[in-house]
Amino acid sequence: MLTGSDTGESSHKIPRAGAPGQLLSLVLYMASNKLTGDFDASEVIRGIRRLAGPNALGISYQNQTPTVRASLETLLSGAVSDSNIRLVKELLNLGTPPDVRVKLNYGRHKMLLHVAVDNQHSEIGWLVLRAGAEPNGAASPFRVTPLQIAADRANHDLVRLLLSYEAYPNLISKSQSTALRLAVSKRRPDIDSLLLKAGADVNAPGGGRITVLQSTVIVDRLDLAEMLLGAGADVNALRRSPNGPETALHDAARLGRLGFVKTFLERAAIADDSRCWELPILAAAKSKSVAIVRRLLEYKYAGNAAEEAERYSIQTALYAAVHSGKIEGIEHLLARAASVNALTSAYTSRLLPEAARTSPLELIKRLLDAGCDVNASGTGRRDEAAI
């Protein structure tokens, strides 16, 4: 037997590997003592296989006892975790299965391919896939796939590799994310293109039931929004916000992203979608986005739009503009003949009480010049005279 002094390692006794059959006890020793990184186990295995000569097949994984197979699997798991390419090659050459589960804390687990991708090691990922690893396996408990990990890491080589082995881009994790949804914030058009070419669902919902298109608005990626629309993304798809249903147009108006608003309107976005809890024009007015208010009015209310819809939208936007104190928006809306004395459909308060509470004196004067009634009651609790 070799001792620790013979190897420079611990005082554990290491079985002598003078015959092919003793590979089993050597592997068992290395696995149980976690020596994958302490010495080059791949050289030991190669040497024993050379000694075996024509009998090398006799030391394959398939010919071993369940105990030794488990040891080989443990050794392979450690080799992948340590990014030991040579040892991974040797163990896979022995026929060790590539779909070994790597146990984590609290009953969680990953597959070897997850570990390789998590370590961003393309060569080991390729070795494991070539050996037959399942590209769509989901890690417990969050059901995350290797492709989702690669997309989240913005690793183009791994995304391309996994797709070449038929990784499915539309699997959904426990957090309702797809690979494309995770790639949105990475600003990598090359990865976006790979996923779209592989058939990624441009209308799949993600975390919070938000669509990929709506995600592009939030992270300000107009380039990807245009790619998604070109691939068939539904510009009028709804998401559930805390306040109620919203579309991507509403998100763009709320965040003041004029480029998105123009693009969505050109793609037939509905500016007065009755399914939404509020109109995009109101969201734009609340965020003081005067240019977007103007664009929405020009698009939606030109031509044959219903007079009632126009009055409702303009009046609601006027109230929000007063609330935000943005006089430029008020000037534009008053030019559209908004009634300064009408109650809005969305609010119970009149304009002047709201202006008195939140707006500068210049804005209040402009409302009075437009004919605002100083004697009209507001909410019933406050009126203009009291304020």
Per DSSP, the three-state class of 383 is strand
**Among 39, 61, 37, 38, which Cα is nearest to 49's?**
61
Residue 254 burial (CB < 10 Å; 0-12/13-18/19+)?
buried
Q: How far apart are CA 346 and CA 272, in angstroms?
A: 14
pLDDT at 143: 84
CATH number for the region 99-182 comes to: 1.25.40.20
Selection from 149, 231, 137, 153 nearest residue 188 by Cα? 153
As beta bridge partners, residue 101 has 111
| pLDDT number for residue 28 | 55
More confident residue, 343 or 67: 67
* Separation CA 94–CA 97 (nearest Å): 9
Question: What six digits make up the tokens of 373?
Answer: 């009634």
Lowest mean pLDDT among 24-28, 239-243, 269-273: 24-28
List, for residues 153-198, the tens digit of each pLDDT value. Answer: 999 999 999 999 999 999 888 777 899 989 988 889 999 999 999 9
The amino acid at residue 102 is V
Task: Quote the CA–CA distance of 160 and 150 in Å, as a whole number.
Answer: 9
Asked whether the predicted pLDDT for residue 111 surpasses 70, the reply is: yes
Percent of the residues in the chain that have a pLDDT greater than 90, as a whole number: 31
CA atoms within 13 A on the CB side of 22: 12
Q: Is the pLDDT of residue 246 over 50?
A: yes
Residue intervals in the chain for CATH 1.25.40.20: 99-182, 301-387
Mean pLDDT of the chain: 76
pLDDT reported for residue 386: 41
Q: How far is CA 121 from the centre of its chain?
A: 22
pLDDT, mean of residues 52-69: 68
Helix (H, G, I), strand (E, B) or coil at 264: helix
If you search the block for the tokens 């896979």, which residue do you land on?
92
Half-sphere exposure (Cβ direction) of 291: Cα atoms closer than 13 Å: 9
Domain 301-387 is classified in which CATH homologous superfamily?
Ankyrin repeat-containing domain (1.25.40.20)
Q: Name the token pair of 178.
A: 């797809």
Please determine, for residue 18, whether its predicted confidence score (pLDDT) is greater than 70: no
Average pLDDT over residues 317-336: 70
Mean pLDDT comparison of 33-42, 237-246, 253-262, 301-310, highest-scoring range: 253-262
Residue 35 carries which DSSP code? -
Task: Give percent of the chain above pLDDT 70.
Answer: 66
Report which DSSP code applies to 17. -
- Residue 228 banded pLDDT, cuts 50, 70, 90: very high
65 confidence band (pLDDT: 50, 70, 90): confident
Q: What is the pLDDT of residues 335-350, one digit of tens each?
A: 765 566 655 444 434 6
